Structure 1
């Protein structure tokens, strides 16, 4: 099997294989996000790293200092991810998609080994940085690799599925943390869960290189014969198939378009409104992170135990159940994203997240058993709203709103925002809980409430819109206040099932000429109006 080209797979089977490896990488991403949450309160962990012990038995000033250390140590992973994502701007095109993923997975293996074998805080932080760097390479590459090997009509759905798989990794990490907590006081209770991520990474290492390279990257490097071989394998057609030759020509045209762009083009405000569109993509990644989701993802068990005051066993069970419910809820968006649209999902989910944080603040400020139960429930509710509206949207929307010419650079910039603001939230969370306690939830309730008008006034609907349609909408916008209104008024070119609703001007003119209509009728078409059918 390993001796055959692409494992002997072609057509749908080869596409499935690519999706499986991409999915495993996102499982690894999610596992790494969630694994530390259930380990921070283990006695065997705080015995090795007393600098990160934030238990209430400690004096207030010691707990506050340790909270700062814990926030920095855990968030160093996100700094590593940030650096890895930026490094991918250079390594991605130099190594190719597969070799970058292979390198990232190997680095994550090394980082996991460093964390697993750590007996000092510096050793542990080094492992977090190394693991994050590898994950940054992978998360910046996997969506590109998969999208460049998949069909355009599958990309949105695949990206939402990848988001769901991130929560699948979080769920797995929570349950492994819970299961191994019964081995306390043995250090295996925290060392094995950290080491388990190596399993996912090794699967990527073993299977990634025999799979196809991105045909786009191959053409970028002038390897047209290999690119054609990949395209024919993905479509399971002969090399001279007209559809494949047309696809090859389209990729060449797109490469010529993107190759002409420079970094300065991100900040231009001509008729294409590039800077306007870059800001929309950048800020939606910022909004996703400052919503407070990683307050729960990284610290769920700690919140249940130390701040809602549940028993340690119950706290870990609830954290694991929270991760499971988060995973299940994330699949809702896969089925409704196209039916409901981007704006409605974002607006309703953000309102729900703001209300959930407000209720969490009220319940934890009152204290007591009954209010603790309500607070525990609303951690689930917050995750549900986030999973449905924001989990995959922040990765999907920037690609839909930015033009082809600057899309790669704009998406790299917006991804860097995701990681740096992820770092900020993860770093400040334990410090905030140690010093202002329930008021931490108020901060995030207000932030989410402030995001709602930003979404309403500035973010146009992109569902069922082609890239060319979005270009047209922004060209018609004279200011940042116009875009939402114009998007709502502009007729859709295609329906919910891909059917043609509006004939584009160029197609109408061609149709007009073939039908040899009168000169007067032909001029009526040229005036720029559209005909709805």
Structure 2
């Protein structure tokens, strides 16, 4: 599975990247560029979700998979070759488009070719291998940190992400088309060949009874769904038919809720979190890579457990664990962030790892499986596409919110484009006050009063 969305977190910790895009000098500019780099990825992802929902039904699952692989490869190549921030931001949007298509396509394809009793295990591999790719990317970032070439530090990880979609393209001739999609196209003979190849067991079921019964169910369901779809008005049923509408909102809410845990915020800014806890240099990248490695192992655990425990129980355990872990992590940052308290900072790291264990072990793979299952065959891609839009929108909506920390109520007006009569940075004043002498503080206070008086006059 491709890993283009995972590269950026460790890239933000590479000195070569910060130097190439002038992100280590002007912190305000750095925050804007970082926000755009991450935000445009998720915007592209939302567009990709919608695109995949349409192309998968019209042109098939394999065609969509190959197109998504090509788009992801182009996006990764453009990121690796970026010469300025604008080019990088555009490349992130293209990469996000490919990610969005893959996020919709892969779990549904896996669901459509998996037997019911082990569908959770097979579809859960989507999250497991995606995060495994993330972990590989993280350790590559650790290695390139030690490179003497500042350009190689960040360009090579961006380039490596192209490898996985290229491998997908090379292996695509051996990937079968979804038998359920073939049935919607009237290609029953082709669908039967794939079902027998995937679900027949010559040793225990020489007469292919299981495959025949499963195939018969598929055929009858496709015929009934197609008739109802045409008679009831087509695509508008996603809104007008209560059972479809319920599924649409359940899928959207499930994916929106998973990202509302803060998972992507923690993931994209994990380097910053570790720095705030007092860590620096390669140690930050190592902790980040270890974080993703735990996520990969936890996703595999979820894939094994969900057919035994059920989807909803795992989701509830994961959501509860994330809420508790993140609350404790925030407490550690508030109490010990920026200090040299070893115990407090160690606890901060521990709760970050607790968070990813609960998220990956209870929510990540499980949410993809659940959303891929709940929709009827003929609207499964529209439903999954809408669900995944929830994932990307949840991240996009939070990013534009202005930061109000440390600002007076009057200064906050400026965050929304209104005029501020007089500017006053309380945080800067407090820092100077802590380290200044009485004469200097008195002089500073007098300067502030004079400035305010002149502005009023």
**Alpha-carbon deviation of 1:205?**
0.7
Q: Which residue is 2:326 aligned to?
A: 357
Paired residue for 1:113, among 77, 80, 84?
Answer: 77
Deviation at 1:369, TM superposition (A): 2.4
Match of 1:314 among 283, 287, 291: 283
Q: Does 2:19 match 1:47? A: yes
Structure 2 equivalent of residue 298 of structure 1: 268
Other structure's SS at 2:4 match: helix
Whether 1:417 and 2:390 are equivalent positions in the alignment is: yes
Say if 2:17 and 2:151, in contact at 8 Å, map to a contact too.
Answer: yes
| Structure number with higher relative contact order (C-alpha < 8 Å, ≥ 6 residues apart) | 2
1:62-84 CA-to-partner distances (Å, cap 9, x unmatched) read 42343122111222122122111
Aligned to 1:208, the other structure's residue is in SS state helix
> In structure 2, what is the equivalent of residue 163 of structure 1?
127
Name the SS for the 2:5 alignment partner: helix
Distance of 1:401 and 1:96 partners within structure 2: 20
Is the CA contact 2:120–2:304 (under 8 Å) kept in the aligned structure 1? no
Secondary structure of 1:391 counterpart: helix
Where 1:183 maps in the other structure, the secondary structure is: coil
With normalisation by structure 1, the TM-score equals 0.68
| Distance change >3 Å, CA 112–CA 208, structure 1 → 2 | same
Counterpart for residue 366 of structure 1: 335
**How many angstroms apart in 1 are the aligned matches of 2:318 and 2:133?**
22
* Cα distance change on mapping 1:347 and 1:216 into 2, 3 Å: closer
Tell whether the 8 Å contact from 1:33 to 1:298 is kept in structure 2 after alignment: no
How far did 1:309 drift? 2.8
Equivalents in 1 of 2:380, 2:58: separation in Å?
Answer: 19
Take 2:189 and 2:378, find their aligned partners in 1: how far apart are those partners?
25
The equivalent of 1:247 in structure 2 is 214
1:264 to 236, 249, 254: 236
Q: Quick check: 1:85–1:137 contact (8 Å CA) kept in 2?
A: yes
Give, in whole Å, the separation in 1 of the partners of 2:114 and 2:325: 37
**Distance change (3 Å), C-alpha of 1:253 and 1:187:** same
> In 2, distance between residues paired with 1:236 and 1:164?
26
Q: Retained in 2: the 8 A contact 1:258–1:406?
A: no
> What is the SS of the residue equivalent to 2:91?
helix
Gaps of 5+ in 2: 407-457
Gaps spanning 5+ residues in structure 1: where? 1-24, 438-533
Matched, 1:383 2:352: no
Q: Distance in 1 between matches of 2:244 and 2:181?
A: 24
Aligned pairs for 1:92-491 within 5 A: 92-235=56-199, 243-259=210-226, 260-261=228-229, 262-268=234-240, 273-305=243-275, 307-367=276-336, 368-370=339-341, 371-402=344-375, 406-425=379-398, 427=399, 436=405
Matched-pair contact (CA < 8 Å) for 1:37–1:301? yes
**Contact map agreement 1:265 1:406 (CA 8 A) in 2:** no
Moved more, 329-338 or 135-144: 329-338
Q: 1:177 to 1:346 in 2, by over 3 A?
A: same
Cα RMSD after superposing both structures: 2.6
- The CA distance in 2 between the partners of 1:374 and 1:242, in whole Å, is 56
How has the CA–CA distance of structure 1 residues 405 and 213 changed in structure 2, closer, same or farther, with 3 Å as cutoff?
A: closer
CA displacement, residues 484-510 of structure 1 (integer Å, 9 cap, x when unaligned): xxxxxxxxxxxxxxxxxxxxxxxxxxx
Change (3 A) 1:338 1:214: closer
Q: Provide the rounded CA distance (Å) in 2 between the counterparts of 1:400 and 1:108.
A: 26
State the SS of the aligned residue for 1:41: coil
Whether the 8 Å CA contact 2:108–2:372 is kept in 1: the answer is no
1:213 is paired with a residue whose SS is coil
Partner in structure 1 of residue 6 of structure 2:
34
- 2:64–2:105 Cα contact (<8 Å) kept: yes
Residues 98, 209 of structure 1: 8 Å contact kept: no
